[in-house]
């Protein structure tokens, strides 16, 4: 069972435009979608909840955290970001969606600005360049999104450990739309589609990708102890010599 926490800076539809697509907001929609999976135990959390929806008892029981943020990145307290960052390095999976590229947590895990170029209202074609990967099982060689916000290179990220999707946009741009990194003991997946007023998350292939990603990011275990720099006064070779004596 994967304890999945779905975080969004909004707990409901931000405005009418969004409400037309996701009447109860993106978070409710995603939570319900994941909740239908028998191996996922879903918790919703949002910025305006007490402790931003991520008090210790929630965060410390989260195996995979999904993060969708847009214009309120600065309102996430640095102390919470540090806790999330630490838990990723101890094994928690993190999936960052769309405008979450500019979230504090994604930027601190990447070490770069995570900037990009953007424009509303393009047509997108997501090309699957890793068809043997867990994240792409069950989809074909590309996914068309009739309307999606263009995100264009240069995407200021460290080179991904694995690049899963390359996005094509009708206006002429391309983007590394699906990228995986290892950070410490944790796994991070950035997935570019998901502008709030586009019905992207209703797309069956997109849903398949998201569910696969949660399972990919789920850790075998999460380390309890802090990751420190141990002093090893007796060398392994000394220990070995003693054991043979």
Closer to its own copies by Cβ: residue 38 or 243: 243
Q: How far is the CB of 84 from its own copies (least distance, A)?
A: 12
What are the E-state strand segments in 84-155? Answer: 93-97, 117-128, 142-152
Peptide bond into 154 cis (omega under 30): yes
CB atoms within 10 A of CB 72: 15
What H or E segment, with its residue span, contains residue 116? Answer: none
Closer to its own copies by Cβ: residue 57 or 225: 225
Q: How far is the CB of 50 from its own copies (least distance, A)?
A: 28
Closer to its own copies by Cβ: residue 50 or 140: 140
Closer to its own copies by Cβ: residue 24 or 86: 86
What angle, 0 to 180 degrees and rounded to 10, lies between the N-to-C axes of helices 204-217 and 26-35?
Answer: 70
Q: How far is the CB of 28 from its own copies (least distance, A)?
A: 28
Q: How far is the CB of 18 from its own copies (least distance, A)?
A: 20
């Amino acid at each position: 069972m994967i304890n999945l926490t779905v975080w969004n800076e909004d707990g409901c539809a931000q405005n009418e435009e969004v409400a037309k697509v996701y009447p109860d907001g993106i978070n409710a929609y995603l939570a319900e979608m994941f909740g239908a999976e028998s191996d996922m135990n879903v918790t919703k959390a949002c910025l305006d909840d007490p402790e931003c929806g991520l008090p210790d008892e929630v965060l410390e029981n989260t195996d995979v955290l999904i993060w969708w943020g847009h214009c309120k990145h600065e309102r996430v307290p640095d102390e919470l970001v540090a806790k999330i960052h630490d838990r990723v390095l101890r094994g928690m999976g993190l999936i960052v969606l769309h405008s979450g590229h500019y979230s504090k947590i994604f930027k601190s895990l990447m070490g770069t600005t995570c900037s990009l170029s953007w424009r509303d209202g393009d047509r997108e074609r997501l090309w699957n360049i890793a068809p043997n990967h867990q994240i792409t099982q069950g989809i074909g060689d590309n996914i068309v999104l009739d309307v999606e916000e263009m995100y264009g290179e240069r995407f200021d990220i460290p080179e991904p450990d694995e690049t899963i999707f390359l996005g094509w946009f009708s206006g002429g741009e391309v983007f590394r739309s699906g990228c995986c990194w290892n950070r410490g003991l944790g796994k991070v997946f950035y997935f570019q589609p998901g502008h709030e007023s586009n019905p992207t998350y209703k797309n069956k292939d997109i849903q398949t990708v998201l569910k696969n990603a949660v399972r990919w990011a789920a850790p075998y275990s999460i380390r309890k102890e802090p990751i420190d720099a141990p002093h090893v006064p007796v060398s392994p070779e000394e220990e070995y010599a003693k054991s043979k004596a």
